[in-house]
Chain A
Amino acid sequence: MKNLFNKLIASLKKEIKILIHDKVALILLFALPLFLVFVITIVQDSTFRLVNDNEIELYVLNADKGDKSQQILHLLKESGNFKVEEIHSISKEELGAKIIKDNYLIGIFIPENFSKSIEDNLEKINNEILEGFGFLEEEDKEMTEHLTSNASDQIKMYYNPIVQDNFRESIAYSISMYFQQVESNLILQQVFENMGFSGEPEKLKESLFAMESQLQQIPASNKANAQIPNSTQHNVPAWSIFAMFFMVVSLGASIVKDKNSGNFIRLKTIPGSISLTFIAKTILYIIVGLLQLSLIFLMGIFVFPQIGLPPLRLPESIFPLFIISFLSALAAISYALLIGTFSKSVEQANGFGAVSIIIFAAIGGIWVPSFVMPEFLQKIGNISPLKWCLESYYTLFLQSGSWTSLYSNIITLSLFIIGTQFASYYKLKIDHYI
């Protein structure tokens, strides 16, 4: 037994020395994951801020002669969300080309008869209200039937094709809200005028706007003192899992190298030594995986706040976090062992290993949340080990979950580990390595 332990220690020492001497593998295992999580969190946070906090540069080509478009432009400028630049002396057709040339994201075209359309629309609505009260004359009724224009339909929003759909939809929605606000204001003003008041009372106007419902957003949680989700809480666990599974490139290749070198041939003449090599690799890479996670989490806790990113807040229950991290690392290692034992060359292991992890990450909800995917893809995503790890981390980091909410993922991950380890063992057995 002591002899076996000494052999295991020797195998572990050897694996550590090989890893320490491989500078590229060290960069791949430690520096790149830190950099990846760092960059992705900044990018995701910036996207969030771009829509919510930053001023978006906006070209406005205003062909309208009336005052309604000016009111809207005033509101857009006052909002603080847009940096409005009015442009003149170009046609509607040239607006698109100017956006691309000047590297702007969005341009708005307000047509010539915009104010007139709004006024017609207002009159129609106004008459419908008065008709409801029974105040409308017969001749006014006939006139209302001819008023059919819709002002908002005539506004054109040009966008740079590099703008992604979700970002574009947010801006379009935001601009529409300002148009609606102006139209509502004008309707109110018109109704008061028709009722014989001079303009709408300021107090009523303020009260009406104060009534606008603001949704209070509360994260669903298993505990009262839940963390507020932010880009850090979402990205750090997700991309840490991705980075950890990417050890398939280093570990898978190391197994293929051992298999294809004379080492395994020599080790075959020493009973039990190949199994010890695999156990040593597993122990070392569990340490590597947990070290990767610790470094990324420490970066989230201490470095992110220094650069204006939200800090990472660890779950209250550290023990479940350790168990999930341990199982995630072991799942990543077992997958790398499987790839390494089945691959015939380093190129095969690296190519298949890396691409398969990218696919697992994509369908597992690492890049975009699973719930936005088509239903069939969500079902396929259930086979991704990265998804099981991610769901477990989200349960801990975002939903303050307990052991009971982790059971199903712990069982699935354990079965995956047993299955892949057994498949690797079987492959080594049929290849007569053990």
Chain B
Amino acid sequence: MQELVRIENIEKKYKNNSFYSLKGISFNIYKGEKFGIFGPNGAGKTTLISALCGTQSNYKGSILYKYAAEYITVSAMKENIGYVPQDFAFHEELSVWDNLQYYGAIYGLNRIKKQEKIHELMGMMQLEEFKNRKLLHCSGGIKRRVNLAIALLHDPKILFLDEPTVGIDIDSKMGIMQYLENLNKKGMTIVYTSHELHEGEAFCNRVILLNQGKIVLEGKLPTVLKENKVHNLEALFLKSIRNEKFV
């Protein structure tokens, strides 16, 4: 497997906290992976994802991306990173079309490429009938799809998803997960975090489990489940909350 991200000894402590949000975090992400980051609330998942995609920069340690046979920093890699934050990251006062147009231009796409990409994404995410509707008046499912579509406008090499399906109906959820599968099949590396453990278990092929800012478990999902004698990710998760020893 080809290495894509090398994370070494990341430490992060927020100003007013007495504890570390991340402590001694080291792992690799490989090209084409569906990589899951799981853990209880406050484990440091969002902080880690923020550091990986460059929205969090004041931490100790190093994050390097391997791009064209060279290791480059997060800042240098930004144009190839797609990020779907947990919060809706668009302008609700504007229509679906206006948001995609704006972010397409901000990502630096030329006019032709931008129109092509917007039409492609709207078609694949079934957003065409809502094209001119203000996002303020759209359902949670549509908003989640737009949130994802914006992150894909510039064809990123790696996509970070922070709770991409939270608060939406099962139909929209399945649609989004199917679309992510398709993207991965086309070669996109996906880093995913969610509270939906069944969803994560079905989607990810490799995971890390965080607790109190530390990695307590890392590996391919079937292997770690077998080694820890549990049947699913949920049981593994409960084990981490109870601070039981992992294998």
A residues in contact (CB < 8 Å) with B? 3, 6-7, 9-11, 13-14, 17-18, 21-22, 261-263, 265-271, 273, 276, 432
Contact = CB atoms under 8 A, between A and B. Distances in A.
Contacts of A276: 106
Contact of B91 (A6, A263, A268, A270): A263
Given A265-B55, A269-B83, A270-B78, A6 B93 contact: no
Identify the interface centre among A18, A269, A273: most chain B CB within 10 Å of its CB. Answer: A269
Contact of A7 (B58, B91, B106, B134): B106
Contacts of A269: 53-55, 78, 81, 83
Interface in B13-53: 50, 53
Interface string B198-214: 00000000000000000
16 contacts: A10-B101, A10-B102, A14-B98, A17-B98, A18-B91, A262-B87, A263-B89, A263-B91, A265-B50, A265-B89, A266-B90, A269-B55, A270-B78, A273-B106, A432-B55, A432-B57
Task: Tell me whether chain A's interface is mostly helix, strand or loop, or mixed.
Answer: helix
A12 B111 CA distance: 17
A337 B130 CA distance: 34
Contacts of B81: 269
B75 interface: yes
Interface string B55-97: 1111000000000000000010011010101111111011000
A257 to B, nearest CB: 9
Nearest to B101: A10
B87 A21 contact: no
Interface of B: 50, 53-58, 75, 78-79, 81, 83, 85-91, 93-94, 98, 101-103, 105-108, 134, 147, 150-151
A276 B106 CA distance: 9
Given A14-B102, A261-B87, A271-B75, A21 B94 contact: yes
Nearest to A8: B105
A13 B93 CA distance: 13
Contacts of A268: 54-55
Contact of A271 (B53, B78, B94, B102): B78
Contacts of B55: 265, 268-269, 432
Contact of A266 (B58, B85, B98, B134): B85
B224 to A, nearest CB: 30
